[in-house]
């Protein structure tokens, strides 16, 4: 998985992508690379099948995505009958 955290609880690993994109947004906002502002937003991954246990994952995306407006989503699916 691209830029997922290598360690820590499995449900929190996708937060690494938001951390990475926030870093790119910070570099862009510095102005060192021109006037264009990249990474203004990200749609991150959070496993909604976790139920209420997904809340810390969503909160982590919000906290680390201060420059890149974070929106964590994943469609929950039920097994086919």
- For residue 44, what pLDDT is reported? 85
Phi then psi for residue 72, to 5 deg, are: -95, 130
pTM of the model: 0.77
- For residue 54, what pLDDT is reported? 92
Q: Give yes or no for residue 63 having a pLDDT over 60.
A: yes
- For residue 39, what pLDDT is reported? 86
Sequence spans of domains, the chain: 10-72
Q: Give yes or no for residue 70 having a pLDDT over 60.
A: no
Rounded distance between C-alpha atoms, residue 73 and residue 61, angstroms: 10
Q: Are 42 and 21 in contact (CB under 8 A)?
A: yes
């Amino acid at each position: 998985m691209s830029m997922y955290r290598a360690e820590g609880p499995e449900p929190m690993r996708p937060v690494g992508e938001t951390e990475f994109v926030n870093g790119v947004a910070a570099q862009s906002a510095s102005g060192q690379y021109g006037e264009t502002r990249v990474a203004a937003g990200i749609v991150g991954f959070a496993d909604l099948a976790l139920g209420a246990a997904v809340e810390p994952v969503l909160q982590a995306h919000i906290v680390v995505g201060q420059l890149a407006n974070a929106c964590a989503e994943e469609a929950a699916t039920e097994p086919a009958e």
